Structure 1
Amino acid sequence: MPRLTRHFAHWPPGAPRTLDVADCNLFSHLEDSAARLPDKPAAIFYGKPTTFREMQAAAVALAGYLQQRLGVRRGDRVLLLMQTCPQFYASFYAVMRCDAVVVALNPMSTPDEIAYFAADSGARVLVATQDVAGRAVTLMDDGTLDACVVGALSDFAAPPEASPWLELPAIVREPRRAMPHPRCHDMAAALAAGAQPAPAQAKGEDLAVIGYTSGTTGKPKGAMLSHRNFCYTLAHRAHWQDDREDEDELLALPASHLAGMRVMLQAGRIGRTLVMLARWDAKAAVELIHRLRIRSWPTVPTMLSEVLGAADDAAHALSSLMRLYGGAAAMPDALAREIQERLGLVFLESYGMTEFCGLALSNPPQAARRQCAGVPVINCDVRIIDPVTLEELGPDQPGEIVMHGPTLFAGYLNKPEATAETHIEIDGKRFLRSGDLGYQDDDGYFYVTDRLKRMINSSGLKVWPAEIELALYGHPAVQEACVISARDPHRGETPKALIVLRPAARGTVKADDLIAWAREQIAAYKVPRIVEIVEALPKTATGKILWRVLQEEQDREERKALSTS
């Protein structure tokens, strides 16, 4: 069988071998669903449904306000800073309706990080919820941002007494507060203003999202993704998983992360109801799945493990689930077996990158394999190369994973050199270099085995050591810093920092002091949970810190500890 098509023997029944998509604006997906299913809930948020008609109306009203009151024009970048909630849903589509570009930020982002994203993307307007909007106050004072639209999560949630079995987080219960700054605009007032947007013009090749992803240089890079990129990845999933509108889905992943964003956009496209959680809560997830008879759940291993522990009788409480899938973090074999034994379900693993609009490999639902990234999805060409010679390798030969397809990003915003470094040409086609090591077997299934780059995967969130090191070097007591990955029983991996202090700080600055300081500088998931103060770090003759030596030493110690436990 030809080497590039051998995986066709395991192709999902009924899925096409190739496909094309309409040249459209992503907003048209929500528009179509609202026309077909106006009274069906698009989202259910802590007991309160928002119908597709209401979601579309909110998106259109916000788009009109952004255009008429805040001057958002075609191609402008708009920052979104909020938890997973109906406001994010409506705001995303509002930006699409403006022909503008979404820059979705992790809700844990600090003021300095928001300032960087605004400056790098050129965004002047932020849409946020009040639990995080205060971080933008200084950015409006110094002129980084012109305006911020602020919403209250409680506006889209039912009162606590409506769902006594569901504990509402404090940020969801909190009533609408006064605006934190004169340049802030109340979202409820904006939706009620009735401003109408101009006709939409953006289509397939136009920029839709700038997805920020960190790298070995330490500073996040903005991957430019088009409407067409998303249309392809959504169309693929609809065929691959036989997506149906009657499969209500739990979204507990961050909507700001590409994985959660794709889930939200697929629901908007096919008319599926999303049950949204602003904050992860295993007990709430169990109650929602059980009471609302949720059938599909995109998730990560840590969430699944917690849910299985929180459900007294998982087989009964989670009996409505028909599909579990994910790809942000590797699924441990023991947990995959437990899911199959207790729930009778196979967890569908996949693999992708922000630069590839989130998906390049996926397990066929009818022929899934454990601890496997899957096979190339529709219209995608995935190969293994030698990372040094760039020679293409055959089955069972480990190397770097590279990928080509219609979801390949246009490049990094303002960084042509970084864009060039991530690409390679094979057979006249442009491939993305993933930086991940793996191999493919004789059947065309791919397995990810290691990292070529220094990425830490903490509960599915990608953390880059160089970015943390840059922050730590800002502390006046830090002379040298090296961040590596340490095993974490809950998160899988967690950052560990090895620090050499300046002479004047030795004996006075403690590890806890550095951890506390880091919490003020970077998002919580990036903060090193382990800090070890050392006398010196190993270096090359040119003074470069040998992080691989430190990582290998850490790995050896962890293997030793596991073997003696």
Structure 2
Amino acid sequence: MTAAASAAVPARAGDDRAHARAWPPRVPHTLRPPRTSLWFNLEVSARRYPDKPATVFFDRVTTYPELLHQAERVAAWLAARGVRRGDRVILFLQNCPQLIAAYYGILRANAVVVPVNPMNKADELGHYIADPQARVAIAAADLAPALCAADAALPPEQRLRYLLVVHYRDAMPDEAFDGEALPAAWREWLATRHPPPALTQGRVADWAEAMACADPLPPHEVGPDDLAVLPYTSGTTGLPKGCMHPHRTLMHNAVAAAVWSNGTAENVGLLVVPMFHITGMVVGMHTSVYLGATAVIMPRWDRDLAGRLISRWRVTHWINIPTMVIDLLASPHFDRYDLSSLVFIGGGGAAMPAAVAQRLLDQFGLRYVEGYGLTETAAPTHHNPPDRPKPQCLGVPFIGCAARIVDPQTLEELPVGEAGEIVVSGPMVFDGYWQRPEATAEAFFERDGRRWFRTGDLGRVDEEGYFFITDRLKRMINASGYKVWPAEVEALMFRHPAIAEACVIGVPDPYRGETVKAVVVLRQEARGTVTEADLIAWCHEHMAAYKVPRLVEFVDALPKSGSGKVMWRLLQEAARAAAPAPV
């Protein structure tokens, strides 16, 4: 068939010919990532760039050789405490240089990183110790007490044996606490030196002990097919599930992200997306280390700190969620900041409002580039071409990825423009759920010699091969890019003694995109005594802040189907219909 004849054939929904028309001409459709462990990337960059900043943290520079040394000492400390190939080690930190050193140290020890969201509370943390059978954890000093409390509630045979405690202060220069370099609200948080917490039947050590460890390094034995990271994702039912990512899946997208964004060793990236999250981990941390680039690290979001760091360090690449950009542009000090160094800005997790994207283009010549991916897919499966992005669009299938739109019931492929479930196949897709063979089987199907992963998201594809999300099969709420699973929030809320029933839904929010609402039936004896504010305050004590319902509505009964199931969609549709129109 000639090229002209081929182009005349109508494209199916997801036909790989369609998005070829939008494909950046400088970018390969597939690539061969290094057949090594992720650890090797740090070793190579340290040899190539002996004087280059690997990280910047409140103006404290850590060079690549320094980062390598720290990671090796962590590996030696872990090996001396019995960590062996394939063992799982918890990593429980906000963004900081020690997180990167600890992460790569775990890999150097041939072990597996279990990244945990630092917003989780003690009631949520026990699962992350027990499910992966972790016996060692590395945690920030301010977060460690919650981890210890969760550990104490577990049966003795499931508890931690060692805990390595990190203070952010140790990675900061003294002058960071002078002037306006540090947000005032963060001073006490970052400056405080916390007393060592107590493990019920384990030993607690300080980061300095690991850095002074003189034990030999173990042989590095793992390769591309060995398990590297076990990030957890929640779902429609039950507790969060671990996603088994070997070195090769993360390596592929780390390299592909570099190629897609025209990355070089001269990149200076603002690393504010959390590194426990798959996007910050892969596109932020791993891509930067692979390139030998510099990561300017923020432990949390603060719009004026971000503006100062972009200006001072001449940041070139910024991966974010749209609410961060909206917040920065709204700063009363915005005219003080110089964004002229930025050459690439993009992200995902929520749609970028068209008006904000237009302002970036008009004022700075920047096209906001949206992408799409899941924990199960090592971040992007789709991305907008940097030179031809479409607004509020997932983009085209990423390097090496095949994507289709299928009927959720029959799994048959659907025509262009028709909505169905997005399914993907490619080298970035995880191996399956940790110790959940049934859930793994439900998430995949075989067709045309390929293994397809069901994303659970409904979407459509246009004639040019760009994908758009339309709805979700799963009950997931997207609040400022954070994924909130109603079943998980409901399970936590049912622990409150006043709650008889609860249904959690997502409702429109002008800033967060969506926000969490709980529709609650109180026990008879609690009616008139427990308020909406009481429940919200209780939730703040027992779950991560982004999961906490911002809205609570008391009802006498929840609508139910003939089989007794709560009709959550009916409640959600009613709440959305009553919401004010977006501005």
Q: TM-score range by the shorter chain?
A: over 0.9
Question: Which is worse superposed, 16-25 or 30-39?
Answer: 16-25
| DSSP 3-state at the match of 1:384 | strand
Query: Aligned AA for 2:220?
Result: A
* CA distance in 1 between partners of 2:176 and 2:430 (Å): 46
**2:481 aligned with 1:469:** no
Give the paired residue count.
561
**2:182 aligned with 1:154:** no
Partner of 1:19: 31
| DSSP 3-state at the match of 1:131 | coil
Question: Which is worse superposed, 187-196 or 295-304?
Answer: 187-196
* CA distance in 2 between partners of 1:231 and 1:5 (Å): 26
* CA distance in 2 between partners of 1:136 and 1:472 (Å): 20
* CA distance in 1 between partners of 2:194 and 2:577 (Å): 52
TM-score, scaled relative to structure 2: 0.93
| DSSP 3-state at the match of 2:72 | helix
1:24-52 CA distance string (max 9 Å, x none): 11010000000001111110001101110
Change (3 A) 1:249 1:161: closer
**2:539 aligned with 1:518:** yes
Q: Do 1:473 and 1:481's aligned partners in 2 also have CA atoms closer than 8 Å?
A: yes
Which of residues 365, 373, 376 in structure 2 aligns to 1:355? 376
Question: Which is worse superposed, 430-439 or 321-330?
Answer: 321-330
Q: Do 1:213 and 1:223's aligned partners in 2 also have CA atoms closer than 8 Å?
A: yes
* CA distance in 2 between partners of 1:248 and 1:392 (Å): 42
Partner of 1:332: 353
Change (3 A) 1:85 1:395: same
Which of residues 466, 473, 490 in structure 2 aligns to 1:445? 466
* CA distance in 2 between partners of 1:78 and 1:303 (Å): 31
Deviation at 1:248, TM superposition (A): 0.4
Q: What are the within-5 Å matches in structure 2 for residues 369-448 of structure 1?
A: 369-448=390-469
Query: Aligned AA for 1:300?
Result: I
**2:50 aligned with 1:38:** yes
Deviation at 1:378, TM superposition (A): 1.6
Q: Do 2:59 and 2:176's aligned partners in 1 also have CA atoms closer than 8 Å?
A: no
Deviation at 1:428, TM superposition (A): 2.4
Q: Do 2:322 and 2:348's aligned partners in 1 also have CA atoms closer than 8 Å?
A: no
**2:577 aligned with 1:562:** no
Question: Which is worse superposed, 256-265 or 185-194?
Answer: 185-194
* CA distance in 2 between partners of 1:265 and 1:313 (Å): 30
* CA distance in 2 between partners of 1:344 and 1:254 (Å): 27
**2:301 aligned with 1:286:** no
* CA distance in 2 between partners of 1:240 and 1:276 (Å): 22
Deviation at 1:173, TM superposition (A): 3.7
Q: Do 2:126 and 2:151's aligned partners in 1 also have CA atoms closer than 8 Å?
A: no
Identity of aligned residues (%): 44
Q: Do 1:326 and 1:348's aligned partners in 2 also have CA atoms closer than 8 Å?
A: yes
Q: Do 2:303 and 2:324's aligned partners in 1 also have CA atoms closer than 8 Å?
A: yes
| DSSP 3-state at the match of 2:454 | strand
Q: Do 2:142 and 2:194's aligned partners in 1 also have CA atoms closer than 8 Å?
A: no
Change (3 A) 1:229 1:42: same
Which of residues 260, 263, 279 in structure 2 aligns to 1:240? 260
| DSSP 3-state at the match of 2:362 | helix
Partner of 1:89: 100
* CA distance in 2 between partners of 1:314 and 1:237 (Å): 31
**2:123 aligned with 1:112:** yes
Runs of 4+ in 1 over 3 A off after TM superposition: 139-143, 160-163, 175-178, 311-316
Q: Do 1:47 and 1:163's aligned partners in 2 also have CA atoms closer than 8 Å?
A: no
| DSSP 3-state at the match of 2:304 | helix
Q: Do 1:99 and 1:201's aligned partners in 2 also have CA atoms closer than 8 Å?
A: yes
* CA distance in 1 between partners of 2:117 and 2:151 (Å): 19
| DSSP 3-state at the match of 2:469 | strand
Deviation at 1:176, TM superposition (A): 3.7
TM-score, scaled relative to structure 1: 0.96
Q: Do 1:45 and 1:275's aligned partners in 2 also have CA atoms closer than 8 Å?
A: yes
Q: Do 1:160 and 1:167's aligned partners in 2 also have CA atoms closer than 8 Å?
A: no
* CA distance in 2 between partners of 1:288 and 1:311 (Å): 17
1:183-226 CA distance string (max 9 Å, x none): 21011121122333211111101000111000000411111001
Question: Which is worse superposed, 414-423 or 14-23?
Answer: 14-23
* CA distance in 2 between partners of 1:375 and 1:187 (Å): 43
* CA distance in 2 between partners of 1:300 and 1:225 (Å): 23
Deviation at 1:362, TM superposition (A): 0.6
Partner of 1:249: 269
* CA distance in 1 between partners of 2:516 and 2:493 (Å): 12
Structure 2: 5+ residue runs without aligned partners? 1-6
Deviation at 1:315, TM superposition (A): 9.3
Change (3 A) 1:237 1:545: same
1:285-312 CA distance string (max 9 Å, x none): 0011111111111011111011111264
Deviation at 1:138, TM superposition (A): 2.8
* CA distance in 2 between partners of 1:295 and 1:162 (Å): 26
Query: Aligned AA for 2:429?
Result: L
**2:205 aligned with 1:185:** yes
| DSSP 3-state at the match of 1:361 | strand
Query: Aligned AA for 2:232?
Result: Y
Partner of 1:199: 219
Query: Aligned AA for 2:175?
Result: P
Change (3 A) 1:453 1:126: same
* CA distance in 2 between partners of 1:493 and 1:250 (Å): 26
Question: Which is worse superposed, 459-468 or 388-397?
Answer: 388-397
Which of residues 64, 71, 95 in structure 1 aligns to 2:76? 64
Query: Aligned AA for 1:53?
Result: P
Deviation at 1:9, TM superposition (A): 1.8
* CA distance in 2 between partners of 1:449 and 1:315 (Å): 39
* CA distance in 2 between partners of 1:549 and 1:140 (Å): 39
Query: Aligned AA for 1:134?
Result: P
* CA distance in 1 between partners of 2:479 and 2:129 (Å): 25
Structure 1: 5+ residue runs without aligned partners? none
Change (3 A) 1:161 1:26: closer
Question: Which is worse superposed, 283-292 or 331-340?
Answer: 331-340
* CA distance in 2 between partners of 1:108 and 1:491 (Å): 17
| DSSP 3-state at the match of 2:120 | coil
Q: What are the within-5 Å matches in structure 2 for residues 133-148 of structure 1?
A: 133-141=144-152, 143=156, 144-148=159-163
CA RMSD of aligned residues (A): 1.6
Q: Do 1:131 and 1:171's aligned partners in 2 also have CA atoms closer than 8 Å?
A: no
**2:182 aligned with 1:167:** yes
**2:60 aligned with 1:48:** yes
* CA distance in 2 between partners of 1:207 and 1:499 (Å): 41
* CA distance in 2 between partners of 1:162 and 1:175 (Å): 12
* CA distance in 1 between partners of 2:123 and 2:419 (Å): 40
| DSSP 3-state at the match of 1:359 | strand
* CA distance in 2 between partners of 1:184 and 1:463 (Å): 32
Q: Do 1:153 and 1:171's aligned partners in 2 also have CA atoms closer than 8 Å?
A: no
Partner of 2:4: none
Query: Aligned AA for 1:174?
Result: A
| DSSP 3-state at the match of 1:393 | coil
Partner of 1:258: 278
